[in-house]
Amino acid sequence: MNRRSMLQRGAVLALSMWIWPMVASAQGGGLSPSQAAFLRAENRRIEDYFVSQVARAVGVDPERVRRAMPDEGRITVTVSRLIPMLEQDLGAPLSEEQRAAILRADEERRAALARVREGAARR
C-alpha cells in the first residue's frame, strides 16, 4: 500500500467519523421541523455551489459533475468518488491543478456544512 492510498483511507475514516453525527442529527436527532427544513435548504445551497466550483475547475457542465457525484443517501466521501468518476467520464486523468481545486472546494463545502449544522442546532 503506497502513501497516497494510506492517506486516502485515513481521510475516509476521519471524514466518516465527522459526518456520521451530522447524518444522525439530520434524521430526527432532536431537530425541530423548522431546523430540519433550514438544514436541508442550506445543504442543497452548499452542494449546488460545490458543483459549480468543480464544474468551473474541470471545465465541464454542472450536470456532468452531478452525474459523477455519489448518490445523496450514500455515506461516503464525496470527493473520493467524484474525482475517479469525472476522470472516467472525461476519458482522461485530471491535472494536479484540477484535483487541487476540487479538494479546496470540498474543504470549503465541509466547513460550510459544519457551520450550517451548528447554526441549525441554535435556531
Q: Give DSSP secondary structure letters for 85-122.
A: HHHHHHTSPPPHHHHHHHHHHHHHHHHHHHHHHHHHHH
Neighbouring C-alpha atoms within 13 Å toward the C-beta of 38? 14
* pLDDT greater than 80 at residue 4: no
To the nearest whole percent, how much of the chain has pLDDT over 90?
Answer: 46
Give mean pLDDT, residues 90-101.
95
The reported pLDDT for the residue numbered 45 is: 94
Which domain does 102 fall in, by range?
Answer: 3-122
- Please state the domain count of the chain: 1
Give the span between the Cα atoms of 35 and 119, in whole angstroms. Answer: 9
- Mean local confidence (pLDDT), 63-80: 79
Greater confidence (82 vs 15) lies with 82
Contact 75, 23 (CB under 8 A): yes
- 85, 60 in Cβ contact below 8 A? no
What mean pLDDT do residues 76-96 have? Answer: 89
* CA–CA separation, 26 and 15 (whole Å): 17
